[in-house]
Amino acid sequence: MGSNKAISINELKGKAAQIRMDLLRMIHGAKTGHTGGSLSNTDILTALYYKIMNIDPARPKWQERDRFIASKGHSVESLWCILADRGFFPKEELATFSQFGTRLIGHPNNKVPGIEMNTGALGHGLAISVGMALAAKKDARASRVFCLMGDGEQAEGSVWEAAMAGAHYKLDNLVGIIDRNRLQISGTTEEVMGLEPLEEKWAAFGWHVVSIDGNDMGALVEAFEAAPAAAGKPTLVMANTVKGKGVSFAENVPHWHHHVPNDAELAQALAELEAVISSYTQEGQVQ
């Protein structure tokens, strides 16, 4: 039951590289997908699903479970691969991604075990997460709620309404995470709708803000394990990430927001990620 609390940071890094390989193969096969954002959020999800969250794939509706909401639902590919790897559904089903009649559509679908709610329209996830965290408080459950948002999503007014509510109800069992890769489909976030000073805004709304390198596995685990670091306050983890992380020629390239790798790009990306896995395996740190 739950995640493997004993798993090492290097094992988590190796697992993240494997998930990146899986999602690239899946997107390549489906000929569709949001590649850049899924690569940037893979480390966040790996830390949560393999180390932090108290979940049970055999009992996806277990009442005491922690909840994860992918508010930036378009970057679902990493989540599908992780849920399959954790045993929520067979890995073979990944081959059906975005095909006719599949459950594995381009956004989270709550017909799939492990998905708490359908998401896609940005700005909705945090409000639902506030409700879940408030319900856990009222029921005296130890469950925590983790909500992953995009940085472009911060332009949605509903995010800030939910932020006010989370602080008002003192939901220290709620962790908001921003995948701060600074790129969205039409350009940089600061060109499209300036967000800075983003950390100060969240702090002003009553949240305890932690800013980290969102692709640093050790920093992610430390931040998530520490929450709540301030009693009576929800936590906001500002995860400063690189869009396209893990694939050298995709990193910080806006075109890769929803670019599908061709055969040559896939082969090069897989070779780079295989080298990462090999480096940890040779050290005897990845099983």
pTM confidence score:
0.95
Q: Where are the alpha helices (DSSP H) in 169-262?
A: 189-192, 198-204, 217-226
Helix (H) or strand (E) holding 25: helix 9-30
Instruction: Please report, for residues 103, 141, 219, 272, the alpha-carbon distance to residue 28 in angstroms, rounded to integers and kept in the order given.
Output: 18, 41, 31, 16
Domain ranges of the chain: 9-282
CATH fold of 9-282 reads Rossmann fold (3.40.50)
Q: Which residues of 20-37 are buried (b: 16+ CB within 10 A; e: fewer)?
A: bbbbbbbbbbbebbbbbb
The pLDDT profile of the chain, 287 residues, written as one tens digit per residue, is 556 678 999 999 999 999 999 999 999 999 999 999 999 999 999 999 999 999 999 999 999 999 999 999 999 999 999 999 999 999 999 999 999 999 999 999 999 999 999 998 899 999 999 999 999 999 999 999 999 999 999 999 999 999 999 999 999 999 999 999 898 877 788 887 988 999 999 999 999 999 999 999 999 999 999 999 999 999 999 999 999 999 999 998 988 998 999 999 999 999 999 999 988 866 554 44
Q: Is 236 helix (H, G, I), strand (E, B) or coil?
A: strand
